[in-house]
Chain A
Amino acid sequence: MPYRSVFEIIGPVMIGPSSSHTAGAVRLGQLARGIFGEEPGEITVRFYGSFAQTYRGHATDVAVVAGLLNFQTDDARIPDSLEHARERGISVSLIPEADPPQHPNTLAMELANGANTLRVTGVSLGGGAVRLTELEGFPLNLTGENPAILILHLDTPGVVAAVTARLAQNEINISHMGLSRRGRGKVALMVIETDQAVPKEVAAELMGARHVIRVALLQG
Chain B
Amino acid sequence: MFNSIQELVALAQDGGVPLWQVMLSQEAEVTGRGQEEILEEMAGNYRVMKEAAKAGIQGVTTHSGMCGGDAKRLYDYLEKGSVLTDSTLLKAVCYAIATNEVNAAMGRVCATPTAGSAGVLPGVMLAMQEKYYLPDSAIVRHLFTAGAIGFVIANRASISGAAGGCQAEIGSASAMAAASVTELAGGTPHQAAHAMALALKNMLGLVCDPLAGLVEVPCIKRNAAGASNALVTAEMALAGIESKIPWDEVIEAMHQIGCAMPVTFKETAQGGLAATPTGEEWKRLLWS
Contacts and interface: CB of A to CB of B under 8 A. Distances in A.
Residue with the greatest number of chain A CB neighbours at <10 A, chosen from B3, B109, B115, B215:
B115
Interface string B207-219: 0001011111000
A12 B111 contact: yes
Contacts of A161: none
B162 A17 contact: no
A111 to B, nearest CB: 25
Interface in A27-74: 49-50, 53-59, 74
Interface string B1-37: 1010000000000000000000110110011000000
Nearest to A1: B155
B83 interface: no
A95 B84 CA distance: 50
B115 A22 contact: yes
Given A56-B287, A57-B214, A57-B215, A49 B162 contact: yes
Contacts of A6: 23-24, 26-27, 38, 42, 144, 147-148, 151
- How many of chain A's residues touch chain B, expressed as a range? 35 or more
Nearest to B27: A6
Among A4, A7, A11, A57: residue with most chain B CB under 10 A: A57
B252 interface: no
A11 B122 CA distance: 12
A76 interface: yes
Interface in B218-268: 263, 266-268
Contacts of B116: 17-19
Interface stretch (A113-121, A124-132, A184-192, A199-207): A124-132
Contact of A16 (B31, B44, B104): B104
Contacts of A5: 27, 30-31
A104 B108 contact: no
A83 interface: no
Contacts of A160: none
A61 B199 CA distance: 34
A9 interface: yes
Interface in B54-109: 63-64, 102-109
Nearest to B117: A19
B147 A10 contact: yes
A22 B64 CA distance: 16
Interface of B is mostly: helix
Contact of B268 (A14, A23, A54): A54
A16 B105 CA distance: 7
Contact of A13 (B108, B159, B168, B269): B108
Nearest to A17: B215
Given A23-B115, A105-B160, A16 B106 contact: yes
Contact of A53 (B115, B144, B213, B216): B213
A2 interface: yes
Contact of A127 (B106, B154, B216): B154
B115 A16 contact: yes
Interface string B179-202: 000000000000000000000000
A8 interface: yes
Interface in B133-163: 143-144, 146-148, 150-151, 154-155, 158-163
Given A9-B147, A50-B162, A57-B213, A128 B111 contact: yes
A8 to B, nearest CB: 7
Nearest to A73: B111
16 contacts: A1-B1, A5-B31, A6-B148, A8-B151, A8-B154, A14-B109, A14-B115, A16-B105, A17-B115, A17-B216, A18-B114, A18-B115, A50-B266, A58-B215, A59-B106, A104-B268
For the complex of A and B, list the 4 residue pairs with the smallest distance between their C-beta atoms, beginning with the closest: A126-B160, A57-B213, A54-B213, A16-B103
Given A3-B151, A14-B111, 4 more contacts: A15-B108, A18-B115, A104-B263, A127-B154
